Structure formats: C-alpha cells, structure tokens
Structure 1
C-alpha cells in the first residue's frame, strides 16, 4: 500500500517514532508530508529530524501557518499526482481547510481517505468551515477518533462512515522510561508540562500547593500567558524560590525532566468550547514510572486508569489532599508508577498505535478492491 500521511504534528521528533513503526510494516510504503515548522501560539515548533528511518519525509511550505482552521499545503496536489497513493491520511480535523483540500486532491487520484479528530465537544462552526466539514463527512472513507467522546460527536454531527478509536500518538517506551537522575534537593517535586493557559488548571495547582504545609518544589515545563501571573502570585507569598520554569524542552529530553518529578499533575478545566481531549503528557510520565494526578475533565480518567489518581476538576482542596497522600507514601508512589508504565505498555506505545493504524489502512485498501 502506498500511503501518504500529512501531519503538522510530526514536526515533533518524539512523534516520528510512530511513523517509523508504521513504515516497519512490510506492506506499507509510507510518505510523510510536513511543514518546516508550526507556529503554536507564542511558540515556533521547528521540524526535528529525529526518527526518519524507513519512510520518505517531504518538507513543503504551509500557507497560513499557525491558523488551525485556515492552514494548508499549496503543493500537496502536485505531490499526490506524482506519488499516486492508495491511501491519504490527513492528520487533521475535518472542519479545516487543509483536510478539505487534501480530500479533494486525493479524490482526483482515486485514493482512499481518512481524517483524524480529537473534537470531544459538539461545536457548530461558522461558514465556510461548517460546509467544508459536511463535505468531508460525505466524501471521506474513514475517520480516526482520538478519544471515545469524539465518536459520539461525529455521529451527532451526521458522519455515518467507519470510525476507529486510536490516539494520535503513543510513546516510545525505550525513550520514555524510568530515569536514574541524582536528586540534590529532597523536597517533594510536583511537575506540570504543557501550555500555561487558564483551561489547563495552573491556578488550581498553585492554590493546592499554597495550602500544603510541607516542603515542596514546582517544576513547570512549558510557556504561555499565565507565567507572569504564577511568578507574581508565588512571590507575593514568599514562595518564588520553590518554582522552576523550563520553557523550551526538546521532545527527546523530556524524559529527563519527568524523571526529576515525584508526581506529575494535569489539572485541566472543562470550558464551554474545550475539555481535555487526551493529555499526552500523562502517558509520557506514566511510561517513565512517574505517578500522575489528573482532573476528571474529558478523557483524562480513561487515560490514567489504574495508573494514577483522579480528582474533581477545579477542586484545589482535593488536589492538595491527593498530593499530600502521595508525598507521605513513597511506596505507594512507586507502586503507582509501576502500574502506570504497565498501562502504557499495554495500550499506548507507538508500536501499538501504529499497528492499529495499519490495520485501518488494510481495511481501506481491501474495500477499494472488493
């Protein structure tokens, strides 16, 4: 099968291990199309050529870079005309311009098409995106949903084709594994990794830590508009020395930062236009044997399973109590870390995600000749 996968997310090196796993299947001839970078808010994610064995990586210009709804690849029709793929996999939501144009270009080559969606809220998009979404639903051959609620959204919005629940990416368990990092500071270290934005619940995490009487440290990996507020708030309480910010962490170095944490927290907050769609950092931490605490927003409880603790979203007291329970019980932390890694090995490795994706490709190819 000749497969062309279009993905701005695959500029991230750690995500490319899934591509190598897909390409390792002998019946797949994989071509991957990516932009040279992706602009995400205040960050510029430049292409990392970290894992490129076994497939062809094509880097092409992107128009309207940074716009989730409007970005697209002007040269993609020419690429598809030359490569004549059997399957075109758009690693994008069905309502954006990139997916709409890719499905149209693929149809001209007679290729089977599949898109990916995380969208776990039923949202009504303005024209022309609503019309593009409906057109894609009618003409695409399959959909991949990154979580269970996204399947319900697709059905509610009128998509009637096949849907496969497969997370967008897993983790490489050889890279994300328990770390042996010397600790010079014995204080209980709480970690957060992700965007510093309101809906990720950073204010709740800070409020929980402020009421802990024990010694603690906060390690934040990420950037965003809430940084200044967090710094000012902790400084006003004499706690500025307890927090460390690491804004730009290459994906391949993330295991070292996770290894410096005693627990990772993802305290996401559901909002009218957003709730947590997966929480990739959870499986990265779990793979490293780091216990996790998450809120009950969106897909978080299902991802964590028995590999961590779940607290009510927005409840700083419940989060503080969960943190304190783990702080005083290192044996429980170790047991939870072990269970978390076992859960990742069973459900969330790149090899597992790739195998499920290739099985979908085979179904599409078989349907094309039946």
Structure 2
C-alpha cells in the first residue's frame, strides 16, 4: 500500500479555527494520499483582540501549537525555536501561509530542510517596493520556494512581473467558503427582518457586509441609495471607523436603514439571507485594492444577488454570476440597484447562478483539492 505524503502547513491565521478549514479540508479530500499537520501559534495578538488557540474535537488534521513572538506586528513576528522541531521531523512538502516579505515567512523558509519542497501562499495584488530587511526576505523566500499559491488571479498577474516569481510554478486559487453553513435560508432571513422591526412584505433589502471604511465603498453606497426613486430598505452588517457617520445617516432613514455590528461569523449567513441583494462597492486606493472579496463568495453561497465594483479581484471572483460596476460611478450603482429592486425575476436568476458558482468554484472541498493537485505537481516536477 502506498504511504501517504506528509504535508505540514503553517500560518499565524490558523490560531483561528475558521481559518484551519483549509487544512482540515485538505485532510478530508486527501484521505489516504495526504497526511496533514497544521502548525499554529498558541497565542497571537489579533487586529481586534488577543487570540488563543482553541481546537475542536472533530478536526481531521492534527494541529500543533507553538509560541509566537512579537505578534503585535504581522511584518516582524517570529515563531521561535519550537517550530524548528516540527519542520525537522520530516515532511514531503511544507506549505507556508505567510507573505514572503515578512520575517516569519523568511524564518520558515530558512528552517525548512533544503531537500523538502516549500510552497508559500500570498495575497499581494499591488506591486510594492519593500525596505530592508523585507525586500531581502522576499527575494530569499522566492528563490528558496519550489512553487507559490496566489490567492486570486490578480495576485498571480501582479507577482509574475516581480523578480524570481515567474521562475517558479504558480497556481491562482480562490479563497474558500463553507457552502453548507452559507446556503439559502429565507426563513432565517425573514426572522431577522422581524427582529429588526421590519415587515417581511416591505421593499427589497439592499445589503452591505464588511468593514465600515471608505475603501469598502460605504460613502458611495449611501449616496447611491439617497439617489434612488424606487422604494428600498438597507441593512449594513460589519463594523469600523465609519460606524458613527453611518448611524447618523441611518437616523435620517429611520424606517429604511438598519446597522448591525458585532455579528459573529456564524451569524453572517442569517444576515445575508435577510438581504435581497448584496453590494460590494470596493474602492481602489494607492495602498489597497480588493484582494478577493470573501463577502462575494458568501453572498453567492446564500443565493443572494451580488453587485460588485471593478476593483482588484472582484470581477474575477464575480465571473458571470453577478453584476460588475464602475467603482467610482454613483449613477451606475444607483441605476443597477434600481433595476434589481424592480425585477424579482432578475434577482432570482442571479441568485441561482451565484449559488452554483459558490458550490463549483469556492466551496472548501474544491479549494482544498486545487491545493493538493498543485502540491502533487510540484513534487512530480522535482522528481
């Protein structure tokens, strides 16, 4: 019987159980062919609060906790000596879900035995010049790697123009979505509408999911809604610096607008099902453009029609399952929203296409298989 290949996958993101879904799904999909071990920090300073590693009893992949140092900075944190022991035990391939220009990415590339293929994942879709030592870290990691995974086609296209990347095998793979957790459930959505004080028979609900910041297009969406003649309601779900301005605006639309903050990830499907369409008017800046748009895939999976801007990866994520609009055109957004508000048939058509795209392209088994297929190609190319 052929022995399973041993995969070690490391990431600071794995401190959160939801982010270990990739590793766990690779274990499920690769059962018998791959044996997956996840290495994660036991503690990490998150963006909003400290995070402690918590394991679930039914996780198929083994997770090993290690110390992380200086974790208040994603660019300079390090895993420390414990991780060396895990990498020295032997693996057929090491997968590093850390950017190649951060110190942790450099550390793991240095500690992975030279004879073991290393593949890193990256979401950098803007070409940037890094100061020392980050530029040197990126150069070393790319040279050391046997391949790299781009979290999106625009990421791949951007990095292929940088030194060294084109010399290594690469694969563009999207982020995953739990198509079982995120699925159409209109009863749950109607229940939330009632809790919000809305009649279920009122005007369609225009939705927003994400950070309340200008680059996510919150001001544009407010302007587009203000310009509508067609009756509407709007549900904003998320949080961020613009919450105060958003609530002030909502106060002028007492009966039409609701703002929900502090919604846990498990509660997002219910919120999405309370929407008749989801708007993602992301705005490109000098330092940022949309990398994937997880909310798009989650909206698709819940059977919610999706409108997205032409920023970054959004058009690639949307494909022909949603409506892509110019990111800076308030009038285009107003017209597109009005068209959907007035056409239940068009909304139903987009809902069906979106759900199909979520299941066939973004569901975790599909994403996990794409990773394992690429890892297999890397191993076969090395002989």
Correspondence 1:44-59 to 2 at 5 A: 47=53, 49=55, 52-59=58-65
C-alpha contact 1:20 1:52 (8 A) present in aligned 2:
no
**1:154 aligned partner:** 159
Note if contact 1:307-1:336 (Cα within 8 Å) is conserved in structure 2.
yes
Indicate which of 287, 307, 310 corresponds to 1:273.
287
**What's 1:80 paired with?**
87
- Given that 1:258 and 1:288 are in contact with CA atoms closer than 8 Å, whether structure 2 keeps it comes out as yes
CA gap 1:358/1:31 in 2 versus in 1, 3 angstroms: same
Could you tell me which runs of 5 or more consecutive residues in structure 1 were left unpaired when the two chains were aligned: none
Q: How does 1:139-288 map to 2 (within 5 A)?
A: 139-158=144-163, 159=165, 160-167=167-174, 169-181=175-187, 182=190, 183-184=193-194, 185=199, 186-235=202-251, 238-288=252-302
Deviates more, 1:51-60 or 1:280-289: 51-60
Residue 239 of structure 2 aligns to a residue in which SS? coil
> What is the TM-score normalised by the length of structure 2?
0.89
**Pairing partner for 1:115 from 120, 126, 137:** 120
* Distance change >3 Å, CA 38–CA 282, structure 1 → 2: farther
Partner-residue secondary structure (3-state), 1:194: strand
CA contact (8 A) 2:186 2:274 kept: no
Gaps of 5+ in 2: none
* Structure 1: distance between partners of 2:177 and 2:16: 12
Q: CA deviation at 1:39?
A: 4.3
1:18 paired to 2:22: yes
Q: CA RMSD in A?
A: 2.1
1:35 is matched with 41
Do the aligned partners of residues 247 and 85 (structure 1) sit closer, same or farther apart at CA in structure 2, a change above 3 Å counting? farther
CA deviation map 1:285-307 (0-9, x unaligned):
10110000000001111111121
1:335 is paired with a residue whose SS is helix
Aligned to 1:7, which of 6, 11, 19?
A: 11
Contact 2:283 2:309 in 1 (8 A): yes
**Residue of structure 2 equivalent to 1:325:** 339
Q: How many residues align?
A: 364
Instruction: Indicate the SS of the match to 1:222.
Output: strand
- Contact 2:235-2:258 within 8 A present in 1 as well: yes
User: Against the structure 1 CA distance between its residues 295 and 94, is the aligned structure 2 distance closer, same or farther, given a 3 Å change threshold?
Assistant: same
Partner of 2:107: 101
**Would you say the 8 A contact 2:148–2:171 is kept in 1?**
yes
- Take 1:93 and 1:339, find their aligned partners in 2: how far apart are those partners? 33
Give the Å deviation of 1:228: 1.2
8 Å contact kept, 2:9–2:23:
no
Counterpart for residue 312 of structure 2: 298
